[in-house]
Homo-oligomer: A and B are copies of this chain.
Amino acid sequence: MNDILQTGAVIGILGGGQLGRMLAIAASRLGLKTHIFEPGADCPASHVAWKTTTASYDDSAALRAFAESVDVITYEFENIPTSALDLLESLRPVRPNRRALAISQDRIAEKDFLTGLGLTCAPYATVQTMDDLAAAMAKVGTPAILKTTRLGYDGKGQARIMSPQDAPEALASMQGAASVLEGFVNFEREVSVIAARGLDGSVAAYDPGENVHRSGILHTTTIPARLSPSLRSDAVLVAARILNALDYVGVMGVELFVTPQGLLVNEIAPRVHNSGHWTQNGCAVDQFEQHIRAVAGWPLGDGSRHSDVVMENLIGADMDRVPALARETGTALHLYGKAEAKTGRKMGHVNRVTQRKG
């Protein structure tokens, strides 16, 4: 019980975007303060946080002062530089733990970990040279996607290979970085499970949502997803297996493809996830509070769904629709306070709430 953070304790959050903002709001409901660490000025989370440190991840004095002012550290994104993590971990608990971060930072490590658990991923093979790529195409077939192993901050580092003749150009675009070739998956739909694991090892999962993307960005999540009862419980069990194997503490987003052969794990994210935003208006305890509960050592809350929800992201010029959305029935707005509505930028989301059916 000593691990439970009490009123007035401080959660440190690495990253000050919209996820950090909504984590800060959730922490306040539990009487907890938040301190944001973020290189960018006037970040969304700073508007609702107790304190904000604006500094870069190589400023060790700033990192040290940040860590010493908080009780526990969590994060809203997975690409935290290793050197920063080394320093922070030496001063305060960092949750979720480093193994989850390491795996999600490296596509090969992630796929090896998942398949090692007996879970199914898209066929994949490691690629460094042209010979590797030829062997990889022989293994996973074409069409396929070549991706750098390490995630870039900018979302770059992907090339489609529709047929073997695309291979040289695709490999060149990797600029010598270690890469992975992923086979195309013929899936019926993408669903995601937002699952949480507490410091006491208990696991809870929200009802799976069904995701639709546009231009590579999540467009809508609909809850409940169209899933048979057996696939629904499979999806939750897959998530639970991943969390337990990592001795994970916090919320994780697990993206799954539904295929004729069953579920296939697309990607995991060791943090609150865009496809879990519906929980803000569909559950007594949302994904943000669930994450804060976990990292603060609290018991997990009740994430059962009281309402059906369709979450829609507001991207860039979608902000022009806000006046109309503000008048809609059963619609909850969540804006992120970002000054400029750039193309492709996530500016907010709406949750459209209806009575739970079934």
B residues less than 8 Å from A284 (CB atoms): 281, 330-332, 351, 353
Complex Cα spacing A33 to B7, Å: 24
Complex Cα spacing A293 to B323, Å: 11
Within 8 A of B (CB), among A217-258: none
A337 in complex: contacting residue of B8, B49, B285, B337, CB < 8 Å: B8
Is A214 located at the chain interface by the 8 A CB criterion? Answer: no
Is A307 located at the chain interface by the 8 A CB criterion? Answer: yes
Complex Cα spacing A30 to B350, Å: 11
Is A158 located at the chain interface by the 8 A CB criterion? Answer: no
Is A337 a contact of B33 with CB atoms below 8 Å? Answer: yes
Is A31 a contact of B337 with CB atoms below 8 Å? Answer: yes
Is B327 a contact of A299 with CB atoms below 8 Å? Answer: yes
Residue of B nearest to A332 (CB): B284
Is A113 located at the chain interface by the 8 A CB criterion? Answer: no
B residues less than 8 Å from A333 (CB atoms): 29-30, 301
A30 in complex: contacting residue of B29, B32, B335, CB < 8 Å: B335
Within 8 A of B (CB), among A33-59: 33, 46-50
Is A150 located at the chain interface by the 8 A CB criterion? Answer: no
Residue of B nearest to A49 (CB): B48
Is A332 a contact of B285 with CB atoms below 8 Å? Answer: yes
Is A326 a contact of B307 with CB atoms below 8 Å? Answer: no
B residues less than 8 Å from A31 (CB atoms): 335-338, 348
Is A97 located at the chain interface by the 8 A CB criterion? Answer: no
Pick from A20-28, A101-109, A132-140, A263-271 the stretch touching chain B: A20-28
Is B47 a contact of A28 with CB atoms below 8 Å? Answer: yes
Is A28 a contact of B21 with CB atoms below 8 Å? Answer: yes
Interface size class of A (residues with CB under 8 A): 35 or more
Could you say how many copies of this chain the assembly holds?
Answer: 2
User: Distance in Å from the Cβ of A333 to the closest Cβ of chain B?
Assistant: 6
Known: A25-B25, A29-B333. A298 touches B326 (CB 8 A): yes
Is A355 located at the chain interface by the 8 A CB criterion? Answer: yes
Complex Cα spacing A258 to B307, Å: 32
Complex Cα spacing A302 to B352, Å: 11
A48 in complex: contacting residue of B8, B25, B30, CB < 8 Å: B25
Is A329 located at the chain interface by the 8 A CB criterion? Answer: yes
Is A33 a contact of B47 with CB atoms below 8 Å? Answer: yes
Complex Cα spacing A154 to B331, Å: 40
A-B contact pairs, 20 of them (CB 8 A): A7-B319, A21-B28, A25-B48, A28-B48, A28-B337, A29-B332, A31-B337, A31-B348, A32-B337, A33-B47, A299-B323, A299-B327, A301-B326, A301-B331, A302-B328, A302-B330, A304-B330, A306-B307, A306-B330, A306-B355
A→B interface (CB under 8 Å)? 1, 4, 7-8, 21, 24-25, 28-33, 46-50, 281, 284-285, 293, 298-299, 301-302, 304, 306-307, 319, 323, 326-339, 348, 351, 353, 355-356
A21-B28, A48-B50 given; 14 more Cβ-contact pairs under 8 Å: A7-B319, A28-B337, A29-B335, A30-B333, A31-B336, A31-B337, A31-B338, A48-B48, A284-B332, A285-B332, A298-B326, A301-B331, A304-B330, A306-B355
